[in-house]
Structure formats: C-alpha cells, structure tokens
Amino acid sequence: MAEEDKEVGAQEEASEKASSQKSPLVALLLIINTVGLATVAFFQYQFMQMEAARPDLNELLKQANVSSTPEDGLPEDRPVETISRESLVNLETFTVNLAQGDGPRRYVRLNAVLKLSQDSEVAEVEARKPQIRDTIIGILNSKRPEDILKRDGKLYLKEQIKSAINSFLIDGKVEDLFYVGFQIN
C-alpha cells in the first residue's frame, strides 16, 4: 500500500509539474489577449469621441451660408437648401423582354434614378413619366443580352437613355442616370 501511495503521489507531482509548465503559457496568452482587447476598446472609444465632436452637416451648411456674407457684414437672405440643390427622380422597376437572339427568351429587370440639372422642373419629369418609361422600354426591347452584359454596354445604354429623355424635355435636362438595380435573366 505504501508503494501505491508513492505512485499516486508521484503521479500528482508529475501532473502538478505539467500544469505548472502550461500555466505560464496560458497566463501569458491571457495577458496578451487582455492587452489586445484593451487596445481595441481604447481605439473604439477614441473613434466614438471623434465622431461625437464632428459637426453636423446642417451646422456646416449654416456656417457656409454665414461665411458668404456681403461686405456690409449681414448674412444673405438665401435659404440653406439652395447651396447645393440636386433633383433625383426615381423610376419604378422595369421588367422588359430583351431582343431574342439564339437561345431562350431573356429579360432585364432595371431600377433607375434620374439626376436632373438645377434648372429642371421635377413636375415636368413627373408629368412625362409615362413617355420616359415608354422610351426606356423601347430601348431595352431592342437590346440583346450580349449588348448590355458588359460594362461598356451598360454605359452606352445609360447614355442612350439620357439622350432619348433629353430630346423631349423642355426645361432642363437629365444629367445622369443611376442604376439602382440591374438584373438580366
């Protein structure tokens, strides 16, 4: 029995030595992990402080309005919204059959937004929306999938749509066309 106690004691000592050898490594990894987390938390706190100190866009626009005062020192009587006015008109989603080439019938689903010039009237574009949609559908019906799958094809389509819409707008023009969604099936 004394020999069994010695063997058990020796096994306990061996396990204590093994755990004490691993313990510094685990402790070191724990310290490194804690320092890393503290560093991330510090930078996150600094970023949040920087974001909180950043001025609001409306305040910047008001300051720009005040800084552009006439020589007599009084602020101009122009509203803040006229500093940069940009009119965007959302066109509903189009689902149009493409011109059939070799193979199965394909269609395009397009969602676009028109960017109008400053002298454009949104009311005119809204009134001509059926005409604009008809023009875009006609253009898309004449395209084959190979024509618009490439980047250059999409850019050419964009320019073609812009020029077609600008041909019948009286006041102002379409400066740009943004694809919000573009899918070919």
Write the pLDDT tens digit of every residue in 157-169: 999 999 999 998 8
pTM > 0.75: no
Q: Which residues of 36-66 are buried (b: 16+ CB within 10 A; e: fewer)?
A: eeeeeeeeeeeeeeeeeeeeeeeeeeeeebe
Banded pLDDT at 146 (limits 50, 70, 90): confident
Mean per-residue pLDDT, 81-86: 47
- Rounded CA separation 137/164 (Å): 12
- Is the residue at 17 inside a domain? no
The answer to whether position 44 is within a domain reads no
Tell me: the pLDDT tens digits for 168-180?
Answer: 888 888 899 999 9
Length in residues, the chain = 185
Q: What total of structural domains would you count in the chain?
A: 1
**38 in any annotated domain:** no
CA dist 118 and 125 (Å) reads 13
- Residue 177 covered by a domain: yes
Which CATH number covers residue 167? 3.30.479.30
Q: Confirm whether 166 is domain-assigned.
A: yes
Residue 112 maps to a domain: yes
In a domain, 68, yes or no: no
Q: Assess contact for 83 and 65: CB atoms under 8 A.
A: yes
Amino acid sitting at position 177: L
Beta pairing, strands 87-97 & 174-184: unpaired
**172 lies in a domain?**
yes
- Range(s) of the domain holding residue 169: 85-184
- Residue 85 in this model has a pLDDT that exceeds 60: no
Q: Which residues, at least 6 apart from 166, have a Cβ–Cβ distance to it below 8 Å?
A: 173, 174
**Across the strands, what pairs with 91?**
112
* pLDDT given at position 36: 96
